[in-house]
Structures are given as C-alpha cells and as structure tokens.
Amino acid sequence: MQFMNVLLVLLIVAAVIATVVALVRGIVSFLQETEADLKNGGPSPSGLRQNRMMMARVMFQAVAVLLVAVLLLLNR
C-alpha cells in the first residue's frame, strides 16, 4: 500500500508540473501576440497556441484532481 501512495504522489507532482508548464507556455504565447495578430480577423497562430495550452492546462488539472481523489480514497 505504501508503494501505491508514493506512486500516486509522484504522479500528482508530475501533473502539477505539467499544469504549470502549460500555464507558462500559454502566458508566453499571450505576451507574444502582436497588434497585427489581433486585427487579422481570423485566429492567429499565437491565439491557437494559447487555446491549446489552455486546454492542456485544464486536462492536467483534472488529472491532478482525480489522482488526489484516488489517493484520499485509498487512505481512508
């Protein structure tokens, strides 16, 4: 049982790190967007990258929350 707890904690840490990386990459994409990208009318490459990073962040957060729930259920 102890091995399972350690494994879950390591997976939670990995999911949190992935969440932070996706967040930072999304913010960097946002900061690199130019005024010309905003006036383009269609989705810019930077805007598409921002959207992908947001979706990845949400997915990694969901994985982290599910892993925490599993850890809590196993340690009742």
Give the lowest-confidence range in 2-6, 23-27, 33-37, 50-54.
33-37
Q: At 37, phi and psi to the nearest 5? A: -65, -40
CA distances to 13, 16, 36, 44 from 23, in Å: 15, 11, 24, 19
Between 10 and 45, where is the model more confident?
10
**9, 65 Cβ separation under 8 angstroms:** no
Instruction: Please tell me the total count of domains within the chain.
Output: 1
Q: Please determine, for residue 34, whether its predicted confidence score (pLDDT) is greater than 80.
A: no
Between 42 and 49, where is the model more confident?
49
pTM of the model: 0.84
Domain of 22 in residue numbering reads as: 2-74
Share of residues in the chain with pLDDT > 70 (%)? 99
Tell me how far apart the alpha carbons of residues 72 and 5 are, in angstroms, rounded to a whole number.
Answer: 10
